[in-house]
Amino acid sequence: MTQRTQAIIAVAAGLALLAFAVGLIIWAFLPAATISVQTEPLLERPGTAIAVTGARFPANREIYIGLSAPGVPPMAGTSFVRAQSDPAGKFQVTFPFPVDPQWTDLPEVIVYAGTPEGNVVATARLSLGRVARLLTPVPVGSATPLPTASPTLLKPSATATASSTASTTPLPTAVPIPAISLNPTAGRIGTAVVVTGRGWRANETLLVSLLGYGTQSTVNLGTAGTDTQGGLAATFIFPLNWTGPSVTIVLVRNQDNSEQATAVFQVIGLATPTVATPTPLLITGWLGQYYSSQTLSGAPVLVRNDNNLDFDWGSSSPAPGLIPDDHFSARWTRTMYFLPGSYRLWAIADDGVRVWLDNNRLIDEWHLASNTQYSADVLNLAEGQHTLKVEYYEEAGMAKVRVGWQQLPTPTPTSTSTPTPTATATVVTTPAQ
């Protein structure tokens, strides 16, 4: 090796060490992740909302937020909710303060937020004082008291400090925490809101409630069940008689109050729609909306939960007194969990019918028909939650609509990949009844 080569290698190594040292210096002086906590106004009701705002977290990462007692390492306490940081490393989330005495009897608590690995954690102190007494459950009309919150525990890290600086001690294991999301996240009263969730126990019954931020407004919406994968899919109609604030919290919890998750819904406007809807209404099957015209126009005159989409009304009305015997229409929507694979969706209608899967129109037979069956194949549907929508109209005579699906056998693999998803509609006419 020549002296020139040795000199070049020495210079390169020196530059690498210099860059590494500069990186360490910059890293050491970078601002740590921080959070701020807001609980105003603090009112005499269970579940007072805690608003947590975070900054300088890793971008586009899932963040766990919860409480720990003074002297307990952060993220060794109870996690209540998860959030997603934005590209700038910021997040905002709201969850209700628990009513369990293990929290309300403390003079202060530590609010923490951290990555699942525990390598970035920020904390803030929340002094309770009189607030703890105010948060003791009090009667709220005829509503069921809010739950004792003691959700899933995360394993503690080896060392951590209750300060508003980042902790670099890894968290050994992160236990999945139930979470929910809403679609839409804002709308008027009477809006159909789809609640989806993950991380729950399989095949359990969950309780769904609506809380008004900063008020005593509480509505118990009903119950919904999880699937075999611990997923949740349910729909509720935002109460028409809502008198609370525009910022509301949807609270989902299990029956033993050991797990809960929240999401925020923003109410737009105060005008009450003219929909004849029972309040509250939690949709666990199909959300059925019925119209007194055959064009799906105007406001629905009836909104209800239909467990199955299998109706043969004959020459009668779906709801005598509200819907005419002829010249009516209906729309149904539902979000369900599907296993991966190919499916055949079918519909039988008298008269017109249209069927969508995830906003893809698969069946479009909007015309007069007499007990006619249609089908469409969906190839290589991905596993997970998918949304179905069905529209139907009746002109005159007999009225009937049925919709279903079946999973197709797995085809023999070939070297040519099949586009995903692909829908090919086939029409099969059956004799009229």
289 and 262 share one domain: no
Q: How far apart are CA 413 and CA 147, in angstroms?
A: 51
Residue 229 contacts residue 337 (beta carbons within 8 Å): yes
60-69, 270-279, 361-370: lowest mean pLDDT where?
Answer: 270-279
DSSP class of residue 23 equals H
295 and 431 share one domain: yes
User: Identity (one letter) of the amino acid at 232?
Assistant: L
Instruction: Indicate whether 25 belongs to any domain.
Output: no
Instruction: Indicate whether 207 belongs to any domain.
Output: yes
SS3 390: strand
Cα dist. 275→29, 302, 306, 370 in Å? 59, 7, 17, 31
Instruction: Give the domain range for residue 216.
Output: 178-272
Q: How confident is the model at residue 106 (pLDDT cuts 50, 70, 90)?
A: confident
Domain boundary among 220, 243, 272: 272
Instruction: Indicate whether 265 belongs to any domain.
Output: yes
When pLDDT is averaged across residues 367-387 and rounded to a whole number, the result is 91
What's the length of the chain?
Answer: 433
Condensed to tens digits (0 to 9), the pLDDT of residues 194-239 reads 898 888 888 899 988 888 765 566 788 888 888 888 888 888 888 8
SS3 174: coil
Pairing of strands 108-114, 91-96: unpaired
Domain boundary among 272, 302, 325: 272
329 and 357 share one domain: yes
Q: How far apart are CA 99 and CA 260, in angstroms?
A: 13
Residue found under tokens 């109706």: 311
Give me the torsion for CA of 240, 178, 140, 255, rounded to 10°: 110
Residue 48 contacts residue 86 (beta carbons within 8 Å): no
53: phi then psi, degrees, rounded to nearest 5: -120, 130
Q: How far apart are CA 173 and CA 159, in angstroms?
A: 14
Q: Residue 250: beta bridge partners? A: 210, 263
Q: How confident is the model at residue 330 (pLDDT cuts 50, 70, 90)?
A: very high
Residue 24 host element (H or E): helix 3-29
Instruction: Indicate whether 396 belongs to any domain.
Output: yes
Instruction: Indicate whether 3 belongs to any domain.
Output: no
Instruction: Indicate whether 9 belongs to any domain.
Output: no
User: Identity (one letter) of the amino acid at 413?
Assistant: P
Domain boundary among 272, 294, 316: 272
- pTM value surpassing 0.75: no
399 and 338 share one domain: yes
Instruction: Indicate whether 415 belongs to any domain.
Output: yes
Condensed to tens digits (0 to 9), the pLDDT of residues 183-194 reads 888 888 888 888
- Assign residue 383 the CATH number of its domain: 2.60.120.260
309 and 421 share one domain: yes
Cα dist. 396→328, 359, 363 in Å? 9, 29, 22
Q: How confident is the model at residue 153 (pLDDT cuts 50, 70, 90)?
A: very low
Q: How far apart are CA 371 and CA 383, in angstroms?
A: 32
Q: How far apart are CA 149 and CA 197, in angstroms?
A: 18
Q: How far apart are CA 7 and CA 39, in angstroms?
A: 63
22: phi > 0 → left, psi -120 to 50 → alpha, else beta; which?
A: alpha
According to the model, what pLDDT value does residue 368 have? Answer: 93
198 and 292 share one domain: no
256 and 320 share one domain: no
According to the model, what pLDDT value does residue 268 have? Answer: 85
400 and 297 share one domain: yes
Q: Which of 217, 222, 175 is nearest to 199 (CA)?
A: 175
64 and 114 share one domain: yes
Total domain count, the chain: 3
- Assign residue 255 the CATH number of its domain: 2.60.40.1930
| Mean pLDDT value across the chain | 74
414 and 331 share one domain: yes
84 and 58 share one domain: yes
Most confident listed range (14-23, 127-136, 221-230, 390-399): 390-399
Q: What percent of the chain has pLDDT over 90?
A: 19
Condensed to tens digits (0 to 9), the pLDDT of residues 242-253 reads 877 887 888 888
Q: How far apart are CA 243 and CA 317, in angstroms?
A: 34
When pLDDT is averaged across residues 299-313 and rounded to a whole number, the result is 87
293 and 420 share one domain: yes
- Assign residue 63 the CATH number of its domain: 2.60.40.230
Q: How confident is the model at residue 393 (pLDDT cuts 50, 70, 90)?
A: very high
Structure tokens at 12: 């390169």
SS3 20: helix
Instruction: Indicate whether 256 belongs to any domain.
Output: yes
Residue 281 contacts residue 303 (beta carbons within 8 Å): yes
